[in-house]
Amino acid sequence: MDLRFTPEETAFRDEVRAFLRTALPEPIRRKMVEGRRLAKDDLLSWQRILNDKGWAVPHWPVEWGGTGWSPVCEYIYREELQQAPAPDPLPFGVNMVGPVIIAFGSEAQKRRFLPRIANLDDWWCQGFSEPEAGSDLASLRTAARRDGDHYVVNGQKTWTTLAQYADWIFCLVRTNPAAKKQEGISFLLIDMKTPGITVRPITTIDGGKEVNEVFFDDVRVPMENRVGAENKGWDYTKFLLGNERTGIARVGVSKARLRRLREIAALERLGDKPLIEDERFRIKIAALEVELKALEMTQLRVVAAERRNGNRPDPKSSILKIKGSEIQQAVSELLMEAIGPYALPDHVPHEQDERWNEPPVGPDWAAGLAAQYFNMRKVSIYGGSNEIQKNIIAKAILGL
């Protein structure tokens, strides 16, 4: 298999790089480099820049704003976006609910939601996990019973990322409690302004409030907001998760962070030589670079297979998810080692903290990296935990 880019693909890569150099606002790029949290307005403005260019939803059908690019060009675009580094378009709309609506939604749903997702006029969040239904998602208990032309929803979702900003939430709900757990689930689109919805923030280990609990108390949802057939939501969820895992390797992100690691390790340290001159530390970096190159080759093989198989999700994406998350966590660990004592977990005040106006301990560039390390603990869990991915590999690839 020839994994080299064609001259046309190389020219496309140059075009993407040139656009990112001129279009990405410098304050956003600097936050990305330093590992700082982006504000809501940062994500809004950047996605709208991409949408004006026609690049916010490149993998969608052309009729709904897609580009018609090949899988290889989509891969190049995603990697260059991550290496810039620039924010990815908000994934809950662009990569999750959008493709589900395209594949299984009604024409009215497509016309209503898809243009607004592309331009981030509607901010979406994901209502899947529950306190007792995480990795075993099919055990969810949030219930929806019919009442005329509405569903009445009661229950709780948790770990709902950025729900504090959301206009809409796509939810898995149980519509047939008597059926087997995978067979009684439906996929609903719920307006977050509906009476009966309560959002409560969860403070995470890095001190941030990125995730939330969402409570539903007699929330009335029009039946027209159900995607596809009743009790078929699990099929749509498998489709969604397969698409999510293909891009979850985040090769470009790891490349950008390895470059940042080398820059920090080359800095002078008080009373000692730069860490990059330590042979043992260089060996750690080299080992990660080898693993990242192997991951990149594997992802290119998956991309090539997608091109042959009509862009259908490939179970090998579970391999990308496992190794990609492990490499992201390993890079964050080396960054912690490189910044030394400034990696203390509580030296960075957060916006919600009364110490917000106090200067951080140590250099500014260390602040975001310390918090980033703790935030990265989640990547081996979301999108289906790595243990679940190993089960998928055993069944779908190894036939065990």
The C-alpha atoms of residue 77 and residue 17 are separated, in whole angstroms, by 9
Looking at per-residue pLDDT, the higher value among 309 and 45 belongs to 45
pLDDT of residue 347: 46
Q: Is the pLDDT of residue 151 over 80?
A: yes
Q: In the chain, what are the domain boundaries?
A: 7-89, 124-231, 247-397
What six digits make up the tokens of 278?
């330590």
Secondary-structure class of domain 124-231 per CATH: mainly beta
- Among 243, 139, 234, residue whose Cα is nearest residue 186: 234
Whole-angstrom distance, CA of residue 315 vs CA of residue 50: 30
Mean local confidence (pLDDT), 210-220: 97
Cβ-based neighbours of 274, under 8 Å, separated by 6 or more? 265, 266, 267, 268
Residue 133's CB is within 10 A of a number of other CB atoms, namely 21
* CATH fourth-level superfamily of 7-89: Acyl-CoA dehydrogenase/oxidase, N-terminal domain (1.10.540.10)
As a whole number, mean pLDDT of residues 27-36 equals 89
C-beta separation of 261 from 337 below 8 A: no
- What number of CA atoms fall less than 13 Å from residue 9's CA on the CB side? 14
According to the model, what pLDDT value does residue 165 have?
A: 97
Tokens for 240? 């969604």
Give the three-state DSSP class for 197.
Answer: strand
pLDDT over threshold 70, residue 3? no
User: How far apart (Å, rounded) are the C-alpha atoms in residues 81 and 69?
Assistant: 15
pLDDT of the residue at 56: 98
Positive or negative torsion for Cα 350, 353, 359, 362: negative
* Model pTM score: 0.87
| Whether the predicted pLDDT of 385 surpasses 90 | no
**HSE value, Cβ hemisphere, 13 Å, CA-based, for 160:** 29
Q: What residues are paired with 200 via a beta bridge?
A: 213
Tokens of 103: 């594949």
Question: Residue 244 catalytic?
Answer: yes
Residue 342 DSSP code:
G
Six-digit token pair at 184? 């009684």
What pLDDT does 270 receive?
62
Cβ 242 vs Cβ 318: under 8 Å: no
Query: What are 380's strand-pairing partners?
Result: none
pLDDT tens sequence across 246-304: 567 889 999 999 999 999 999 877 667 899 999 999 999 999 999 999 999 888 888 77
Identified catalytic residue from 74, 80, 244, 306: 244
CATH homologous superfamily of domain 247-397?
A: Butyryl-CoA Dehydrogenase, subunit A, domain 3 (1.20.140.10)
Contact 48, 382 (CB under 8 A): no
